[in-house]
Amino acid sequence: MFQQAIAVENDFGLVKEFIQGDSERAASAFVRRYKSFVYSTAFRHLKSHDDADDASQEVFIRAFKNLATFKGESSIQTWLYRITLNVCANMRRKKRFTSFFSFDNDEEEIEIADSAGISPHNSTETNDFMEHFNKMLNTLPEKQREAFALRYFHEMSYEEISVMLGTSIGGLKANYFHAVKKLGELLKNSELLTGQRHGYTK
Amino acid sequence: MDIQNKDKADFRRRMEEMLADYAFDRLPMSEKEEFEQNLSEFPDIQLELLEVQKVFSRVYRADFDEYFDRRTRNLSVHVLQRFETKAHLRRVLSKLIPALSIVAAFVAFAIFHKPSSIEDANSPMAMVTQSDADYLASAASNDDEIAAILNDIAPMLTPETIPALSIDAINSIDMLSAVSTPFNESLLEDQLLSVFSDSDLNNILGESDDDSSL
User: Are A127 and B70 in contact (CB < 8 Å)?
Assistant: yes
Cβ neighbours of A199 (radius 10 Å): 6
Say which range, A147-151, B117-121, B146-150, B167-171, has the weakest mean pLDDT. Answer: B117-121
pLDDT band per the 50, 70, 90 thresholds, residue B82: confident
> Which one has a higher pLDDT value, B136 or A132?
A132
B153-202 pLDDT tens trace: 666 666 566 555 555 555 666 555 555 455 555 666 666 666 666 776 66
Nearest to A49 among B20, B71, B78 (CB): B71
Cβ neighbours of B56 (radius 10 Å): 17
Got the DSSP string for A5-20?
Answer: HHHHHHHHHHHHHHHH
| CA-based R_g, chain B, Å | 50
Reduced to 3 states (helix: H, G, I; strand: E, B; else coil), residue B166 is: strand
Q: What is the pLDDT of residue A71?
A: 78
User: Are A177 and B19 in contact (CB < 8 Å)?
Assistant: yes
In 3D, which of B54, B52, B55 has the Cα closest to residue B21?
Answer: B52
Nearest to B20 among A130, A180, A202 (CB): A180
pLDDT band per the 50, 70, 90 thresholds, residue A181: very high
pLDDT band per the 50, 70, 90 thresholds, residue B66: confident
Q: What is the pLDDT of residue B88?
A: 82
Residue A49: its chain B contacts at CB < 8 A? 71
pTM score above 0.90: no
In 3D, which of B59, B204, B17 has the Cα closest to residue A187?
Answer: B59
Measured CA to CA, the distance from residue B165 to residue B208 in angstroms comes to 10
> What is chain A's mean pLDDT, rounded?
79
What's the mean pLDDT in A148-152? Answer: 94
Q: What is the pLDDT of residue A173?
A: 93
> Which one has a higher pLDDT value, A15 or B140?
A15
> Which one has a higher pLDDT value, A20 or B117?
A20
Q: What is the pLDDT of residue B43?
A: 92
In 3D, which of B44, B49, B41, B43 has the Cα closest to residue B20?
Answer: B49
Instruction: Among A60, A135, A157, A175, pick the best mutation site for testing chain B contact (most B Cβ within 10 A).
Output: A60
Measured CA to CA, the distance from residue A35 to residue A57 in angstroms comes to 9
CA angle, residues B169, B173, B176, in degrees to nearest 5: 135
Measured CA to CA, the distance from residue B127 to residue B120 in angstroms comes to 7
Nearest to B75 among A35, A181, A202 (CB): A35
Q: What is the pLDDT of residue A117?
A: 41
Residues across chain A: 202
Say which range, A54-63, A144-153, B66-75, has the weakest mean pLDDT. Answer: B66-75
User: Are B13 and A129 in contact (CB < 8 Å)?
Assistant: no
A40-90 pLDDT tens trace: 999 999 999 999 999 999 999 999 888 888 877 888 899 999 999 999 999
Question: Do B198 and B161 contact (CB within 8 A), yes or no?
Answer: no
Find residue A109's DSSP bridge partners.
Answer: none
pLDDT band per the 50, 70, 90 thresholds, residue A128: confident
> Percent of chain A at pLDDT above 90?
47
> Which one has a higher pLDDT value, A139 or B138?
A139
Measured CA to CA, the distance from residue B123 to residue B171 in angstroms comes to 20
Residues whose CB falls within 8 Å of the CB of residue B133, separated by 6 or more in sequence, listed in order: B166, B168, B169, B171, B172
Q: What is the ipTM of this complex?
A: 0.73
In 3D, which of A154, A129, A174 has the Cα closest to residue A4?
Answer: A154
Looking at the complex, report in whole angstroms how far the Cα of residue B112 sits from the nearest Cα belonging to chain A.
40
B120-147 pLDDT tens trace: 545 444 455 556 656 656 655 566 666 6
pLDDT band per the 50, 70, 90 thresholds, residue A176: very high
Reduced to 3 states (helix: H, G, I; strand: E, B; else coil), residue A33 is: helix
pLDDT band per the 50, 70, 90 thresholds, residue A26: confident
Q: What is the pLDDT of residue B203?
A: 65
pLDDT band per the 50, 70, 90 thresholds, residue A10: low
Query: By CA distance, what is A192's nearest residue in B?
Result: B58
* Category of B25 on φ-ψ map: left (φ > 0), alpha (ψ -120 to 50) or beta: left
> Which one has a higher pLDDT value, B27 or A11?
B27
B3-46 pLDDT tens trace: 565 577 888 888 999 999 999 999 999 899 999 999 998 999 99
Measured CA to CA, the distance from residue A148 to residue B38 in angstroms comes to 25
Q: What is the pLDDT of residue A201?
A: 35
- The answer, yes or no, to whether residue A1 has pLDDT greater than 50, is no
